[in-house]
């Protein structure tokens, strides 16, 4: 069906031509949803039309409204308030919508074809010196959901991961293990590999701080002690040996990274995250270095006397940015230049989204500028989806000090909390232990994902595990429970397949249909804004509206068979949209709870 606002614009254009002899372009006619404090469904704003009508806003709106109601069965009534023409959409339109478009399981989504825009989206980007933690959880859930929303909006989407598997931080874990590991591995310790390696990253920091304290006690300044600590110099030497392809260092690096990758795979699988391709910094930094050196040769970058390479960004209102250290080792910017170049050469993407926290705003601003200096016009296709930090109620976390909440531990806690709260409420008393375990997992993960994704990505947030599992309020379990209620009703209403919308719709039913009508536009806006919270909060409002309808009106015991059918159609359509929207958030919806 043609969208309501498009129909109303065409009708208003016709009215303006008929009444005032003006052929106005539809783009100049403003139609919007009616404000909640006004009566109506859609509003035509008349102020821009007064130059043609030569009348007051109220008179202009009244003439337009009368014409539109007379010439279209879609318009059931109207009112005018200070130049806002508020139109009431007819029962017939809503009933045709309920019997038609709204029945489609894929309602609101679009399919991509070979000519659709290709969007590459990078998320996760973990370091191989520690396990995934709460900050990574927000990154992964946000990236995965945005990818699904973009795909549902008709784009070709490629999800990519860049593993930061080289650098001084990786060497710190390696060095601490070499000093104190005594051959420990995941099998001998019973630890996941990423957790084992993360422990040695924490241990390096402890060794470093102890040495700095000892040097200060012997009379050195803190600054000199921090810069000259032997253990830090050993880590730097290990990085230099790694970049020189030292056999022993490379062997240790491959072994410890393999432990971490196996751990990551387990965490991703549990989180429901997947990628189309994984890139490794160790494979891309050399290309980045070649491009940076070429930039010096072409005069767009410069080399200092110590051999380090820099970009002068003063013309862009920024400072000078280091691209290659004096000892020839790379920085993050070097590998990002190489990775971006490789990805464009491979795919020719139409846009590339980096899902990275807002502490890296400067980095991605510089990345675009450096790529443009190197002559790559496609640098304008890069976009940084900058999101806020996530913390726990007790405060900020620090990886090197071992105070982070690991993703695995967090997921364990979510499932345990879901179990505890479900048992307190007695919701699953008659379920088998196998079904209970599955539902606890679905509810726990649904609570985690929804609580994080309902927040605008740009905002910092505090994650409270127990609050997220509440079965009331704006939570994943509330929406999951609503869906389970819907499926229960549908299982009992077997005649739904033969239903058509035969009865008049009451006010609550129209409100529900009207809300579901908005779902496609919610998806389009979430895709444009790269903001899953628009979908999440829409689903909450829809679930609330449905539960109010369910509370106020009987469904299977309605007054007539036609009314039963009609309400079953509404129930089924609501369930389809909740299932569709939750899937875009990466959340499973149980059939029974």
Contact 197, 132 (CB under 8 A): no
Helices (H), strands (E): how many in the chain? Answer: 22, 14
Contact 42, 3 (CB under 8 A): no
pLDDT bracket for residue 558 (50, 70, 90): confident
- For residues 536, 539, 543 and 544, what is the CA-based torsion angle, rounded to 10 degrees? 70
Q: What is the pLDDT of residue 400?
A: 46
Q: What is the mean pLDDT of the chain?
A: 93
- pLDDT > 90? residue 453: yes
Q: What is the pLDDT of residue 41?
A: 94
Q: What is the mean pLDDT of residues 195-210?
A: 96
Dist. CA 501–CA 566, nearest whole Å: 5
Contact 563, 189 (CB under 8 A): no
Dig out the tokens for 173 from the structure.
Answer: 């874990």
pLDDT bracket for residue 399 (50, 70, 90): very low
User: What is the DSSP secondary structure assignment for residue 329, as one 8-state letter?
Assistant: -
Question: DSSP states of 256-319 as a string?
Answer: HHHHHHHHHHHHHHHHT---SEEEEHHHHHHHHHHHHHHHHHTTSSEE-TTS-EEEE-GGGT--
Q: What is the mean pLDDT of residues 55-79?
A: 96
Q: Over pLDDT 70: what percentage of the chain? A: 96
pLDDT digits (tens, 9 = 90+) for 462-475: 988 888 888 889 99
- CATH code for 407-584? 1.10.730.10
- Tally of CA atoms within 13 A in the half-sphere of 129 that contains its CB: 23
Q: What is the pLDDT of residue 424?
A: 80
Dist. CA 256–CA 138, nearest whole Å: 26
Query: What are φ and ψ of residue 461, in 5° steps?
Result: -145, 155
User: What is the DSSP secondary structure assignment for residue 494, as one 8-state letter?
Assistant: G
- pLDDT > 50? residue 397: no
Residues 6+ apart with CB under 8 A from 110: 152, 153, 154
Contact 16, 52 (CB under 8 A): yes
Q: What is the pLDDT of residue 524?
A: 96
Q: What is the pLDDT of residue 3?
A: 87
Using alpha carbons, select from 460, 416, 405 the residue that is nearest to residue 441: 416
Q: What is the pLDDT of residue 527?
A: 98
| pTM, entire model | 0.91
Using alpha carbons, select from 516, 487, 473 the residue that is nearest to residue 588: 487
- pLDDT > 80? residue 427: no
Q: Which helix (H) or strand (E) holds 481?
A: helix 476-492
- CATH code for 123-391? 3.40.50.620
- pLDDT > 90? residue 476: yes
Q: Over pLDDT 90: what percentage of the chain? A: 80
Alpha helices in 121-192 (DSSP H): 134-152, 168-180, 186-189
Cα–chain center distance at 517 = 23
Q: What is the mean pLDDT of residues 56-62?
A: 96
Rg of the chain's alpha carbons, rounded to an integer? 30
Length in residues, the chain: 593
pLDDT digits (tens, 9 = 90+) for 326-337: 988 788 899 899
Dist. CA 417–CA 440, nearest whole Å: 9
Phi/psi class of residue 299: alpha, beta or left (left: φ > 0; alpha: ψ in -120 to 50)?
left
Q: Which helix (H) or strand (E) holds 323?
A: strand 320-324
Q: What is the mean pLDDT of residues 407-432?
A: 86
CB neighbours of residue 305 within 10 Å = 6
Using alpha carbons, select from 292, 286, 284, 291 the residue that is nearest to residue 161: 284
pLDDT digits (tens, 9 = 90+) for 158-167: 999 999 999 8
Q: Where are the domains of the chain?
A: 4-89, 123-391, 407-584
pLDDT digits (tens, 9 = 90+) for 507-516: 899 999 999 9
- pLDDT > 70? residue 405: yes
- CATH code for 4-89? 3.30.1360.70
């Amino acid at each position: 069906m043609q969208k309501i606002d498009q129909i109303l614009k065409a009708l208003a254009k016709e009215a303006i031509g008929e009444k005032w002899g003006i052929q106005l372009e539809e783009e100049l006619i403003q139609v919007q949803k009616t404000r909640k404090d006004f009566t109506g469904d859609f509003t035509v704003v008349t102020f821009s039309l007064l130059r043609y009508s030569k009348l007051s806003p109220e008179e202009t709106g009244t003439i337009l409204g009368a014409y539109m109601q007379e010439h279209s069965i879609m318009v059931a009534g109207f009112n005018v308030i200070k130049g806002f023409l508020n139109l009431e959409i007819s029962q017939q339109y809503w009933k045709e919508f309920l019997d038609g478009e709204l029945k489609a399981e894929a309602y609101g989504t679009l399919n991509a074809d070979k000519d659709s825009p290709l969007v590459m989206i990078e998320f996760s980007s973990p370091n191989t010196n520690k396990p995934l933690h709460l900050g990574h959880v927000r990154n992964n859930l946000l990236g995965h959901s945005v990818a699904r929303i973009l795909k549902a909006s008709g784009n070709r989407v490629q999800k990519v991961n860049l593993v930061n598997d080289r650098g001084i931080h990786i060497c710190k874990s390696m060095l601490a293990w070499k000093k104190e590991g005594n051959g420990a591995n995941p099998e001998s310790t019973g630890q996941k590999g990423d957790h084992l390696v993360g422990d040695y990253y924490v241990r390096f920091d402890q060794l470093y701080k102890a040495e700095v304290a000892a040097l200060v006690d012997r009379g050195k300044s803190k600054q000199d002690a921090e810069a000259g600590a032997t253990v830090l110099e050993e880590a730097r030497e290990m990085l230099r040996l790694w970049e020189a392809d030292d056999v022993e260092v490379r062997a240790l690096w491959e072994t410890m990274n393999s432990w971490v990758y196996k751990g990551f795979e387990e965490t991703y699988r549990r989180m429901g995250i997947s990628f189309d391709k994984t890139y490794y910094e160790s494979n891309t930094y050399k290309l980045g270095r070649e491009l940076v050196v070429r930039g010096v040769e072409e005069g767009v970058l410069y080399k200092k006397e110590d051999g380090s390479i820099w970009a002068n960004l003063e013309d862009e209102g920024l400072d000078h940015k280091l691209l290659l250290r004096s000892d020839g080792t790379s920085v993050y910017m070097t590998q990002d230049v190489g990775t971006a170049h490789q990805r464009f050469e491979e795919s020719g993407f139409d846009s590339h989204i980096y899902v990275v926290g807002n502490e890296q705003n400067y980095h991605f601003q510089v990345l675009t500028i450096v790529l443009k200096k190197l002559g790559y016009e496609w640098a304008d296709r890069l976009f940084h989806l900058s999101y806020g930090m996530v913390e726990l109620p007790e405060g900020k976390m620090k990886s090197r000090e071992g105070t982070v909440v690991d993703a695995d531990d967090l997921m364990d806690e979510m499932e345990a909390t879901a179990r505890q709260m479900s048992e307190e409420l007695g919701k699953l008393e008659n379920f088998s232990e196998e079904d209970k375990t599955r539902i606890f997992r679905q509810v726990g993960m649904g609570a985690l994902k929804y609580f994080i994704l309902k927040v605008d990505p740009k905002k910092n947030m505090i994650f409270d595990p127990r609050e997220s599992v509440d079965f009331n309020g704006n939570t994943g379990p509330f929406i999951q429970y609503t869906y389970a209620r819907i499926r229960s009703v549908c299982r009992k209403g077997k005649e739904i397949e033969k239903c058509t919308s035969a009865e008049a719709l009451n006010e609550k039913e129209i409100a529900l249909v009207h809300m579901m009508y908005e779902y496609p536009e919610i998806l389009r806006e979430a895709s444009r804004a790269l903001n899953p919270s628009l979908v999440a909060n829409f689903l909450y409002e829809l679930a609330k509206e449905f539960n109010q309808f369910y509370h106020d009106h009987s469904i299977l015991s309605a007054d007539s068979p036609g009314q039963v059918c009609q309400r079953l159609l509404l129930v089924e359509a609501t369930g389809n949209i909740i299932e569709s929207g939750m899937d875009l958030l990466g959340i499973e919806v149980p059939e029974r709870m």
